[in-house]
Amino acid sequence: MSLITKSSFLTLRQTLLAPLGQVAAACDDYRKCNGLTDEMWLEVGVTRVLSDQKTGRGFLQQVGPQMESCPAQSHYFETLKSERRLKVCQAANEHLANLLQGDPFAQHPALAKFELYAADGHWHGAAVHDAKIDERRWAVGHLYAQNLRTQALHHLTLCEGKKENDLHAIKRLGAQRLRMKTPKGQKVLWVYDRACIDFTLWHYWKQQQGVYFITRTKVKMLREVIGETPFDERAPSTKASSTTSSSKPANTS
């Protein structure tokens, strides 16, 4: 297999990252910068994620020379602190998600009234510059979502504290965030692992916000027969009255 030349690498990069130039200027916090433009900053960020370098310095040293324009080390790390750049990154992601098309679930009419999302948490080791909690640096967690119709990816939240679990983070986000700007009248179905089971919360969000959850059953939740109570099968049946509460569930997090 022949080696990829620098020119072919740049052509491949330009094709892959071309949409970033289209969405950067559409962001509300976009600004024309002379040194490192917002378009180039987004490209550097995506390239950093795709690279296998463990450190930012290693990335600039190894991958930087292959890029058409690479920022200086001090400038690169300084821009990572910018709240404005972060907002540009978030807005660019939303713009790109809206550009994606295609729906592998269109052939299932039973799902026509649902927007479909899958979500999960991802943890990675703390960086040396992360703040300490109780004299140590804890692993950093993120919750990500994928639109199952368009395959678009979304960042839901950064986990807080020592090691915030998925369910606590979902409760903190709230049902309105989980609706993902879905128009009123359209339901939202979330596919999650067993870490998010909370039947009381699910019932409330289903009734009040049109947010549904689907997951697998935990082993300890499987029904098990522990005995039988004898009864008279000829006795007349009675229907017990039941009421359904619509009050908001207590926060058990």
pLDDT at 250: 55
| Rounded Cα–Cα distance for residues 147 and 96 (Å) | 12
Predicted TM-score (pTM) of this structure: 0.76
What CATH architecture does domain 102-229+240-253 belong to?
A: 2-Layer Sandwich (3.30)
| Rounded Cα–Cα distance for residues 239 and 242 (Å) | 9
Q: What is the 3-state secondary structure (H, E, C) of the chain?
A: CCCCCHHHHHHHHHHHHHHHHHHHCCCCCCCCCCCCCHHHHHHHHHHHHHCCCCCHHHHHHHCHHHCCCCCCHHHHHHHCCCHHHHHHHHHHHHHHHHHCCCCCCCCCHHHCCEEEEEEEEEEECCCCCCCCECCECCCEEEEEEEECCCCCEEEEEECCCCCCCHHHHHHHHCHHHHCCCCCCCCEEEEECCHHHCCHHHHHHHHHHHCEEEECCCCHHHCCCCCCCCCCCCCCCCCCCCCCCCCCCCCCCC
What residue segments make up the domains of the chain, in order of their start? 1-99, 102-229+240-253
Alpha carbon 197 to its chain's center: 18
In the block, tokens 């295609």 appear at 102
pLDDT at 248: 61
Number of other residues whose CB lies within 10 A of the CB of residue 227: 4
pLDDT at 153: 92
| Rounded Cα–Cα distance for residues 239 and 221 (Å) | 26
pLDDT at 232: 86
**pLDDT digits 0-9 by tens, 98-146:** 888 889 999 999 999 999 999 999 998 888 888 899 899 999 999 999 9
pLDDT at 230: 87
The ranges of the chain with pLDDT < 70 are 1-10, 12-13, 238-253
**pLDDT digits 0-9 by tens, 229-238:** 888 888 887 6
